[in-house]
Amino acid sequence: MVTFAQVLYDFTAEPGNNELSVREGETITITNQNVGGGWIEAKNSRGEVGLVPEDYIEAQPFTSGGNAASLDLSLFDSHIPAPPSTAQTSNGNDPWAVFDSNASGGFSNNWAAQPEGTETGETSSSAWHSGGHGHPQAYQGPGAEDDEWDEEWDDVKSSGGYAESEAGEGGAIHRGGAHGSSMKIALNKFPGFSKSGPELYLLSKQPAKGTRLPVYGGEAGPVWAYPDYQLDCVVADPKKGTKMYGLKSYIEYQVTPTTTNKPVNHRYKHFDWLYERLLDKYGSAIPIPCLPDKQVTGRFEEEFIKMRMERLQGWMSRMCRHPVVSSSEVFQLFLSYKDEKDWKMGKRKAEKDETVGVMIFSTIEPEGLPDLDLIEVEQKCEQFNRFTRAMDDGVKDLLTVGNEHWKRCTGPLPKEYQRIGKAFQNLSSVFNSSGYEGEATLTDALTAAGKTYEDIAQMVAEQPKKDLHFLMETNNEYKGLLGCFPDTIGVHKAAIEKVKEADKLVATGKITTSEKITMSKRASTMSYALQAEMIHFHTNRIYDYNRVMQQYLEQQVKFYEMIAEKLRHAHSQFTTM
């Protein structure tokens, strides 16, 4: 089906990026909606084909997916088939659905709800992807266009187009093949009454293995044991390496811990391996956010690498800030790569670790804290559940608004200031031709004013990278973190339900009375872990949002002050003497 679009603004193609230069008012034929990254492929009247930024065109309502214009219309134009993903989205959008379903129900439906839990997982994880990917797409070029890199992306490239068809919700994209904490947990933890359910820990007889994780009573509540020295690391200096005689290329990032100050090199796949280990080991007790999206969002290698590095840095810093994660053996291994042999050994050891899944709770030791009764445990759990889901909504809302603002600031708005500037300069050159002596002052001033508005246009277009970018990144990070809670909390809810029916289990001789006591004692331990984690989350959240808002507003102030200053100077050049 042919789809036409009208060009709203002039766009000049960058050579070598198979872009297409178009003029305002021109009509083009859309040849591919699903290029992604905020671009569409189009053909002009001369039959030339190339990429055009989707914000620069206005499509007819018949278009399916792709750009905002057509999505708007799709809301009321029945001709438009809903994007294939919509169904999944509407439910997938809400990783919390599972708890709605069992809010009333008890143990069994909770178990029954687990398959849903799986999908939940997918979405919550891909939601982070989407955020992570959604906003860069507003300023980055088309997707998997010009790179045939490392295998590490092969699996996702395909999903690019499909992803685009939802750019509507502030670029929130839900990918089928998304891999993430929650899904993993779901898979290995909830096949009904499997060994990997919380009961594995609640009823476990074996002694705890591995480092013990104490929880102390803090001012605001239970807290993890924090190290005296706050670990951090710098991810920098990406280098392109090749393998298979240069057939395949990959990027190595340099990771330097502030402790040793000894840089180690890691590829994305090594980060991914670390993520998998942390997820398996701590996922039930600590939300382990996904790595930055595998999806290639960058139009140029540099752009893409820069963005990924920035996000790997964010991910690593967050892991460093977590007392439990940062002090873990596997994390230390990652930061202290000595030699291939040592690395391989450490890898094998980490992969053999048995204290994973719910068994992590067996290493947690509340220090001098009274056992909590089930009511308290459940209340806490519910409270955290309410808060994290509410914050998840708030963060997504901010991301949507921010993404739209980004598009306006980099699209229509600067174009408009540019045109105002041109109009002033144009008038100035007309005045110059008047042949009347002595209006040089006016014409010079008009030209200067025009140039000023052209400068402002550029400032407007570049500003989001200076402020909105960090606001978006921080919220994307939190979107990712929050996406993990439904599963973490799910484990606790499952445990609570289990303890609730302990009596029945005793009655039916499935467990002994002492086992029942152990169960509720362990549920209390799990709750202390969750509470310590929430306190950790809150303190970090308060710090992060204070910091990012300061940063954002500081840049905004500078921005408006600079504009005022420029205009003040332009003003000074006019005279009515």
Using the rule CB under 8 A, give the single segment among 139-147, 195-203, 261-269, 554-562 that binds a second copy.
Answer: 554-562
- The residue among 510 and 574 lying less far from a second copy, judged by its C-beta, is 574
The nearest distance, CB 137 to a second copy, in angstroms, is 19
For 21-60, give the DSSP string: -B-TT-EEEEEEEEEETTEEEEE-TT--EEEEEGGGEEE-
Q: Which helix (H) or strand (E) holds 267?
A: strand 264-267
Using the rule CB under 8 A, give the single segment among 206-214, 266-274, 283-291, 416-424 that binds a second copy.
Answer: 416-424
Using the rule CB under 8 A, give the single segment among 86-94, 121-129, 331-339, 419-427 that binds a second copy.
Answer: 419-427
Q: Does 470 bind a second copy (CB under 8 A)?
A: no
Inter-helix orientation angle 513-572/374-410, to 10°: 20
Structure tokens at 467: 């402020």
The span from the CA of 525 to the CA of 543, in Å, is 27
One residue of 9, 424, 485, 528 binding a second copy per CB under 8 A: 424
One residue of 423, 462, 503, 513 binding a second copy per CB under 8 A: 423
One residue of 310, 431, 451, 500 binding a second copy per CB under 8 A: 431
Using CB atoms within 10 Å of the CB of residue 197, give its burial: 0 to 12 exposed, 13 to 18 middle, 19+ buried. Answer: buried
Q: Which of 471, 412, 385 is nearest to 131 (CA)?
A: 471
Structure tokens at 556: 């905004």
The nearest distance, CB 558 to a second copy, in angstroms, is 8
The nearest distance, CB 374 to a second copy, in angstroms, is 19
308 assigned ligand-binding residue:
yes
Q: Does 23 bind a second copy (CB under 8 A)?
A: no
Binding-site string for a second copy from residue 439 to residue 458, where x marks contact by CB under 8 A and - marks none: x-xx--xx--x---------
Q: Does 557 bind a second copy (CB under 8 A)?
A: yes
Q: Does 420 bind a second copy (CB under 8 A)?
A: yes
Q: Does 427 bind a second copy (CB under 8 A)?
A: yes
- The residue among 21 and 27 lying less far from a second copy, judged by its C-beta, is 27
Q: Which of 158, 135, 166 is nearest to 65 (CA)?
A: 166
The span from the CA of 453 to the CA of 428, in Å, is 14
Q: Does 383 bind a second copy (CB under 8 A)?
A: yes
The span from the CA of 560 to the CA of 115, in Å, is 51
Beta carbons within 8 Å of 198's beta carbon, 6+ residues apart:
284, 358, 491, 492, 494, 495, 498, 526
547 assigned ligand-binding residue:
no
Q: Does 507 bind a second copy (CB under 8 A)?
A: no
352 assigned ligand-binding residue:
no
One residue of 187, 220, 507, 517 binding a second copy per CB under 8 A: 220
Residue numbers in the known binding site are 267, 269, 308
